[in-house]
Structure 1
Amino acid sequence: MRDDPRVGDFELGEVPSAREIRRFTARAARARAGVGAGSLLTELYTVAVSVALSVLIVLGIVQQLGDALPPAPPTAEPGGLSLPVLVATILLAAVGALLSTAGRLGPVGAEGAQAAWWLPLPVDRRGLLRPAATRVPLVAALAGGMVVVVLEAGLLERRGAELVRAGVLGAAVAALVVLAAAVAQSRGVPRRRTALVGDLLLVAAPVLAALVVLSGRTPSSLPSVTWAAVAVVVVVAGALAALVDRRLGALPGRTLREGGSVATHAVGAVVSLDSRELGRALSGGVAAPSRRRTSRLSTVRGPMTALVTADLVVLRRSLRHVVQIVVATGLPVLATVVPQLAGPVGILVTVLLGGWMMSSASAEGSRWAEMAPVIDRLLPLGDRTVRRLRMVVPGLVALVWSVVVFTAVGRWAGATLDWLLLGVGAAPVWAAAAVRAAYRPSPRWDKPLISTPAGALPMGVMQVIARGPDLVAFCLLPVWVAIALGTVTTIMVTGQVWMSAIAVMIASSTAEKGWMERMLEEQDQRKAGAP
């Protein structure tokens, strides 16, 4: 080959190892980044401090919530649910969510540049992919350990060695779940099947809790974690890690490229503070390329029904959001049967969290339309009409959610019909908030940056993020007051109906800037003499 004129007359050296290629790539990236060791240490210090502060703040909030909860009754009431069982249900749901997310991300993948340059090289692919295969399990272990520690210390009031064992077990289980998804990926299991298993596990958590409630036999405590159980989980996780490392070379390039593309999309969405792009990355990455059956769309009778039908089809095909709606419905209902949570604070928090989860999941069609408004532009409909039609599907979902949730809240408060009327009157607010959040503008990164514990953020980013939640906070004031007082009056129901009308009017607006900002701009134009 040395005498080939197309190559040239020179000696060919040995092919470098995978480790040398990774080191060369890292050195080249650092040389072109223009930063030194001091900048790297500063970034690491900032990240560590931000994570520590976030954990301490969340732990403090959870501990205050746990202190505010009433003590558990000496004997468990029939049909109730103990707080330890609720914590176990939350952890089971978290395992399902983690498995679903890991399945959607790959979890082993190669980014665009790495896939284009590294994968075709004639070197051992295991050495190239080890950092990528290690990164996600470590991040999952760190997050899992922190979540378990916060729940155990804040709600179950565990301390000392018992808390340490629970945290280590949580980290080991989180890493084991991600490694199990990696093993499935190495076996050629499609990512959507792994995500489906995680979604089913997520749905199973509230279902099992409901079965415990119906059985009337709820345990008042959970068995303590032993070091033997922790050691078993750690050994199993280590065995899965060894199996994944051995099978890294068998991963096909297409799977690695798909996983790297989804992970890059998700990381970019998180850095840009855009939850809509994050949802598109997690949903679009596991979408089926083709379907065995087609829908006749028999509900289409014109432009308006076509838009509503499109939103229904998008929601029906997004299993992740259907699961999210089910979980959001079960969260407030379970809170009403837990003695420690069946109070104004617990009901208020769970209704707020469950309602926002439900409304966000039901507006998937609006989020896709904000990115690609194809149907909006083709149909002969005005912009305000389109926004109102986009509220139909979230409004129907919110209506069903409100009937189930506020029936349970009414049983807790002792006046089911009054609470049901209040919940039905509040359903349009959830729909309006979801559509308003879906059509919110992106943060303006060209504005001056301000320093925050989470890093440098542009000015006005909080105003962008608050679009949607602001309607929940303001237009649901009658609901919040009713839950705090534990009673519903005619004035509250009437006020909630008027607030719902105001929320629909605000969400129908197509103005991207706030009212105050528009008024200031008009004043500046008048001073400048502009029309």
Structure 2
Amino acid sequence: MTAVRPYETGPVPAARSIRRFTTQAARAHADAHVGALLADVYSAVLSVAVAVGFALGVVQQLRVALPPAPDVATPGGLSLPVLVAVLLVGAAGALVGVAGRLGPVGAGGAEGAWWLTLPVQRRGLLRPAAVRLPVLAALAGAVVVVLLDAGLLARAGAELVRGALVGAAGAAALVLAAALVQSAGVPRRTTALAGDALLLAAPVAAALLVATGTAPATTPVPGWALVAAGAVAVAALGAGVDARLGRLPARTVRESGSVATQAVGAVVSLDTRELGRALGGGTLRPARRRSSRLRTVRGPVTALVTADVVLLRRSPRHLVQVAVGVLVPALVTVVPQLASPVGVVLAVVVGGAAAASAGAEGSRWAEMAPALDRALPLRHTTVRRLRMVVPALVALVWSALTLAAVARWAGGPVVDWLVLALASTPVWAAAAVRAAYRPAPDWGKNLVATPAGAVPAGAFAVVARGPDLVALCLLPLWIAIGLSTVTTPLVTAQLVLSVVAVLIGSSTHEKSWLDRTLEGADASAPAPAPSGAAR
């Protein structure tokens, strides 16, 4: 009788060989060749260079157009260098919030499916993924600092180089610190809320400096010692994250990879709604200590409005978004170089869009899962108008506070500006709901070659739904800010355009007259490139 030989196993492969095998398998199943890869890399690098150069040119032109700083500091004002520092602190908070929502280290797709179950050292498998996000953050931080320093502060030479290096090191250190605390067991929600708190603290601190009259006139220029300290901090944090890679739970790695994959897909598809759902879904609290009795629900109408109110109340990120939307225009009005009609209009556009969009989170979720919209015995038009209630309430509070600051800047009666705020509130709500219910770009159409890559024909008309109402139906508001005064004809025209905006925003037809106009403008874009060129 032949003896049964025991099952023989070979040596455990190294993590590098597993990664190399995965890359080779992916290349074998792909139709692209090395030339196509080099062409894609060339296109990506060229697109980034063109975008950075264009942005730098715009910022420099803005600096040239800005009036010179006053010789004597205005009491209660804010200098341009301090405003740049506030923007950098706010950007740091936003970066920490994004890093917290993405998770420490992610492995999605096939990597998360079978890499984590192999008897291979997990630290070696996850090391490239752990390096990816800090490197991207460092590049983004350097670009942002260069744009602000060279564009607004007119710094050049060694000062600009040191600023870029400090920005890169600071951004990478923030991402690594977020990954380190999450790998130690801190929940993603806590890290994300810390980033949101830092984002809110930046304009609040600036407002306190303005209120107390203690805002400095200049900010210190970073030296080489700070660059060295940043490099040491990045190295130490990177070593700490690398040491914890082998102890990360598989569930955490898969969740982070899933969020990152969903976020990248949303960016490629030009879908900001999906991007918000990807970054916000993982930080929702799974269970609550207490439940609301929802006493305001008395029927289908109040049920829909109550659902939107509860969703806004349970989302700290959107509450921070509303607060930042209020503070940004108020700060711009007290910066001498930016307190021009054009600067105030741009600040009002940015702040109003952020505040109204925060109140329309229920509409964005309803566009993906319209179960509540269709279950209630309400007409589709009525549902859209009810969805405007919460964004309108948010926009009303924002408009009252913002236009009160604009009235102080313009030197006119506050009551007149508050009346204009009340008249313009429906436009913000209609624009937010219209943007929330917009369809996704049709990638089945012919593709148009652009410096940013191939996009489907008609993508501009889709992305412009919502901002089009802000641009067209708020013309009286823009004229009032440009003239620094409010008149009765402007208020009357704003009331009429607000009614038009509500009618367009609540329309459930596939295409309104404004959509057809936008598609006509989009059709005048360059002709679609051949399919081979698009690829």
Tell me the TM-score range normalised by the shorter chain. Answer: over 0.9
Aligned equivalent of 1:136, options 130, 133, 136: 133
2:453 matched residue in structure 1: 455
1:234 matched residue in structure 2: 231
Query: Could you tell me whether the CA contact under 8 Å between 1:441 and 1:512 is conserved in 2?
Result: no
Aligned equivalent of 1:73, options 70, 76, 95: 70
2:439 matched residue in structure 1: 441
Counterpart check, 1:159 vs 2:156: yes
1:27 matched residue in structure 2: 24
Pairwise CA RMSD: 1.5
The 5-angstrom pairing of residues 490-505 of structure 1 reads 490-505=488-503
Q: CA–CA distance in 1 between the matches of 2:84 and 2:415?
A: 31
Q: CA–CA distance in 2 between the matches of 1:155 and 1:172?
A: 21
Q: CA deviation at 1:424?
A: 1.7
Q: CA deviation at 1:142?
A: 0.5
| CA distance 1:405–1:164, shift in 2 (3 Å) | same
2:465 matched residue in structure 1: 467
Please list the CA deviations of residues 318-337 of structure 1 after superposition, one character each: whole Å capped at 9, or x if unmatched.
Answer: 11111111111100000111
Number of aligned pairs? 515
Aligned equivalent of 2:218, options 210, 218, 221: 221
Query: Could you tell me whether the CA contact under 8 Å between 2:105 and 2:179 is conserved in 1?
Result: yes
Which letter does structure 2 place at the counterpart of 1:106?
Answer: G
Q: CA deviation at 1:513?
A: 2.5
Q: CA–CA distance in 1 between the matches of 2:490 and 2:516?
A: 32
Q: CA deviation at 1:515?
A: 3.1
Q: Secondary structure at the match of 2:337?
A: coil
Q: Secondary structure at the match of 2:292?
A: coil
1:391 matched residue in structure 2: 388
Q: CA deviation at 1:12?
A: 2.7
Query: Could you tell me whether the CA contact under 8 Å between 2:309 and 2:390 is conserved in 1?
Result: yes
2:430 matched residue in structure 1: 432
Q: CA deviation at 1:518?
A: 7.2
Q: CA–CA distance in 2 between the matches of 1:46 and 1:82?
A: 39
TM-score between both structures, scaled by the size of structure 1:
0.95
Q: CA deviation at 1:512?
A: 2.6
Q: Secondary structure at the match of 1:457?
A: strand
1:488 matched residue in structure 2: 486
Counterpart check, 1:294 vs 2:300: no
Q: Secondary structure at the match of 1:247?
A: helix
Q: CA deviation at 1:452?
A: 0.7
1:524 matched residue in structure 2: none
Which letter does structure 2 place at the counterpart of 1:20?
Answer: S
Q: Secondary structure at the match of 1:64?
A: helix
Please list the CA deviations of residues 476-523 of structure 1 after superposition, one character each: whole Å capped at 9, or x if unmatched.
Answer: 11111111222221111110111111000000101233438879x9xx
Query: Could you tell me whether the CA contact under 8 Å between 2:504 and 2:512 is conserved in 1?
Result: no
Which letter does structure 2 place at the counterpart of 1:350?
Answer: A
Q: CA deviation at 1:359?
A: 1.4
Please list the CA deviations of residues 284-305 of structure 1 after superposition, one character each: whole Å capped at 9, or x if unmatched.
Answer: 1111111111011111111111
Unaligned runs of 5+ in 2: 520-535
Worse-superposed segment, 393-402 or 150-159: 150-159
1:527 matched residue in structure 2: none
2:477 matched residue in structure 1: 479
The 5-angstrom pairing of residues 29-48 of structure 1 reads 29-48=26-45
Query: Could you tell me whether the CA contact under 8 Å between 1:331 and 1:350 is conserved in 2?
Result: yes
| CA distance 1:437–1:516, shift in 2 (3 Å) | closer
Please list the CA deviations of residues 381-429 of structure 1 after superposition, one character each: whole Å capped at 9, or x if unmatched.
Answer: 0000000000000000000000000000001101122222112211110
2:303 matched residue in structure 1: 306
Please list the CA deviations of residues 249-302 of structure 1 after superposition, one character each: whole Å capped at 9, or x if unmatched.
Answer: 011111111111111111111111100000001111111111111011111111
Q: CA deviation at 1:9?
A: 7.6
Identity of aligned residues (%): 64
Which letter does structure 1 place at the counterpart of 2:289?
Answer: R
1:201 matched residue in structure 2: 198
Query: Could you tell me whether the CA contact under 8 Å between 1:76 and 1:218 is conserved in 2?
Result: no
Which letter does structure 2 place at the counterpart of 1:453?
Answer: P
Unaligned runs of 5+ in 1: 522-531
1:121 matched residue in structure 2: 118
TM-score between both structures, scaled by the size of structure 2:
0.94
Worse-superposed segment, 68-77 or 124-133: 68-77
The 5-angstrom pairing of residues 262-341 of structure 1 reads 262-341=259-338
Q: Secondary structure at the match of 1:301?
A: coil
Query: Could you tell me whether the CA contact under 8 Å between 1:440 and 1:512 is conserved in 2?
Result: no
Q: CA–CA distance in 1 between the matches of 2:313 and 2:215?
A: 35
Please list the CA deviations of residues 147-177 of structure 1 after superposition, one character each: whole Å capped at 9, or x if unmatched.
Answer: 1110111111111110111011001000000
Q: CA–CA distance in 2 between the matches of 1:449 and 1:71?
A: 46
Q: CA–CA distance in 2 between the matches of 1:281 and 1:131?
A: 22
Q: CA–CA distance in 2 between the matches of 1:47 and 1:329?
A: 36
| CA distance 1:57–1:517, shift in 2 (3 Å) | closer
Worse-superposed segment, 392-401 or 422-431: 422-431
Q: Secondary structure at the match of 1:451?
A: strand
Counterpart check, 1:99 vs 2:96: yes
Worse-superposed segment, 476-485 or 22-31: 476-485
| CA distance 1:443–1:350, shift in 2 (3 Å) | same
Worse-superposed segment, 40-49 or 477-486: 477-486
1:14 matched residue in structure 2: 11
Q: CA–CA distance in 1 between the matches of 2:514 and 2:72?
A: 56
Query: Could you tell me whether the CA contact under 8 Å between 2:104 and 2:178 is conserved in 1?
Result: yes
Q: CA deviation at 1:219?
A: 1.0
Q: CA–CA distance in 1 between the matches of 2:340 and 2:246?
A: 55
| CA distance 1:227–1:393, shift in 2 (3 Å) | same
